[in-house]
Amino acid sequence: MPDLETLQLLGPELALTGIALLIFVLDLFLKRREDILGWLALAGMIATVLISLPLAIQSRTILSGMLAVDPLAVYFKIIAALTTALVLMASVDYLRTRSAYRGEFYGLMVLATLSMTLLAASTDLIMIFISLEFLSLTSYVLVGYLRHDWLSTEGGLKYLLYGAVTTAITLYGMSLVYGVTGSTSLEAIAQALADPANPMAQNQAILLPSLIFVLAGFAFKISLVPFHQWTPDAYEGAPIPVAAFLSVGPKAAGFAILLRTLLVAFPSLQVDWIAVLSGIAVVTMTFGNLVAIQQRNIKRLLAYSSISQAGYILLGVIAFWVGFGTPGVLIYVLAYLFTNLGAFIVVVAFSHLTGSDDIHDYAGLVRRAPFLALALVVFFMSLAGIPPTGGFLGKLYVFGAAIQAGFWPLAVAGVLNSVVSLYYYFGVVRQMFFLPPKPPLSLPVPRALLAAIVISLAGTLIMGIYPQPFIELATDSVAIVGQLP
């Protein structure tokens, strides 16, 4: 039975569990008034942030070493809550005309947030696997949420099938790690691998495949090539708020557990996993950008864009030990939250008002909805790494880390891919500013969507114009750096 102190340390998770259960119960009695449940879920996200903040001074494990309560975990818990909060704001008006089961949607969003907080704090392979599956199951349902839309059903089914295969690969890799080390604890695994008296720990024929199999599960969640296949179809078929959520939330949680696993459990295999991740990073960046050029659907374009962005962030993981790399991943993830969610929320607003996701229908948007057009330009600038935006700050840190660590070819690949991305981002800008508008000539944006765009826009610009507080926050949040060799 957990004691009172443990329950306090589990405050964010308990709050999310309580809010989810409350939403499901109230949904039985509030038919036709489900929007109230959306605002209740939003209040739950704000409460989660407030409960999480005091825990940033902790640095310990709970539940027999299964979960960590440290600044790194708290940072990503706040990222998860902020992501879901903005998605919920974008969902209320969008779902009102598209689904009669909005209560279940809000409850599932809260549960998905709970799974991300657990994943970011996991310090044991068993807990990592459970959290990954929890996040995957809620995501499968959310992608196929529009049950009468065949694209949504197809996207959810493809996501499920790819996820099932990846789950089997990941679990097999974890079983190999357990067989070599005799433990599922990340710290105990590191100790066993560093023990020269352990003959199995020196067997590269077992260790390298097991590491790659474990990384497969994280790569699937992050949408790294070659585990990205589900991404464009899932994003295109899912409700746009769900696509926005998938593009940021699970990615952030995936990078959190990727950092914790590699740096705590496998520091002795640094040379091996740096080689593997370097190849994946270059292929992911290049593939995502080149395929995005060919897209005519805005959701598929942003899907391939999110694949390439994952490749950029991976550079920070590869060069994590150097000065720029330590806060680089965390800075990039926070900037990506505001930037990519902002872009998706503009797409939510446009789709809600016009019913179209075709890039050609964005023609003349600056005359139909000037704020939406200008906001999307800023978000595209940030995704491309143009100052003064948060995306520029994130790219500066991850590319700088790669150069500082001596991986300058990776930094060159990142810069060249950023240049390529300008082509398809500003192809949309060309449609909005230089082509004649289509009817209707006026697109009034609902208040909740407008507020979500303003918050995202503010976060993107403030990070670029006044970055120091965010740099300090990211640096202070990497408590795991104390465990590095």
Residue 222 lies in a domain: no
Q: Which pLDDT value is given to residue 485?
A: 38
Residue 167 lies in a domain: no
The 10 Å CB-count burial string (b at 16+, else e) for 411-433 is bebbeebbebbbebbbebbebbb
Residue 62 lies in a domain: no
- Rounded Cα distance between 340 and 303, Å, is 10
3-state secondary structure the chain: CCCHHHHHHCHHHHHHHHHHHHHHHHCCCCCCCCHHHHHHHHHHHHHHHHHHHHHHHCCEEECCCCEEECHHHHHHHHHHHHHHHHHHHHHHHHHHCCCCCHHHHHHHHHHHHHHHHHHHHECEHHHHHHHHHHHHHHHHHHHCCCCCCHHHHHHHHHHHHHHHHHHHHHHHHHHHHHHHHCCCEHHHHHHHHHCCCCHHHHCHHHHHHHHHHHHHHHHHHHCCCCCCCHHHHHHHHCCHHHHHHHHHHHHHHHHHHHHHHHHHHCHHHHHHHHHHHHHHHHHHHHHHHHHHCCCCEHHHHHHHHHHHHHHHHHHHHHCCCCCCHHHHHHHHHHHHHHHHHHHHHHHHHHHHHHCCCEHHHHCCHHHHCHHHHHHHHHHHHHHHCCCCCHHHHHHHHHHHHHHHCCCHHHHHHHHHHHHHHHHHHHHHHHHHHHCCCCCCCCCCCCHHHHHHHHHHHHHHHHHHHCCHHHHHHHHHHCHHHHHCC
Q: Domain of 334?
A: 271-485
What is the token pair recorded at 485?
Answer: 């060799």
The domain total for the chain is 1
Residue 136 lies in a domain: no
Q: Which pLDDT value is given to residue 204?
A: 66
Residue 396 lies in a domain: yes
Q: Which pLDDT value is given to residue 192?
A: 85
Q: Which pLDDT value is given to residue 196?
A: 75
Residue 351 lies in a domain: yes
Q: Which pLDDT value is given to residue 482?
A: 39
Residue 21 lies in a domain: no
Residue 227 lies in a domain: no
- Tens-digit pLDDT string for the chain (485 aa): 567 888 889 989 999 999 999 999 998 887 667 678 889 999 999 999 999 999 888 888 888 889 989 899 999 999 999 999 999 999 888 888 776 678 889 999 999 999 999 999 999 999 999 999 999 999 999 998 887 888 888 888 889 999 999 999 999 999 999 988 888 899 888 888 887 777 666 666 678 888 889 998 899 989 898 888 888 989 988 889 999 999 999 999 999 999 899 888 888 788 788 888 999 999 999 999 999 999 999 999 999 999 999 999 999 899 887 666 678 889 999 999 999 999 999 999 998 888 888 899 898 888 888 999 999 999 999 999 999 999 999 999 999 989 988 889 999 999 999 999 999 999 999 999 988 887 777 788 888 899 999 999 999 999 999 999 998 888 888 765 434 33
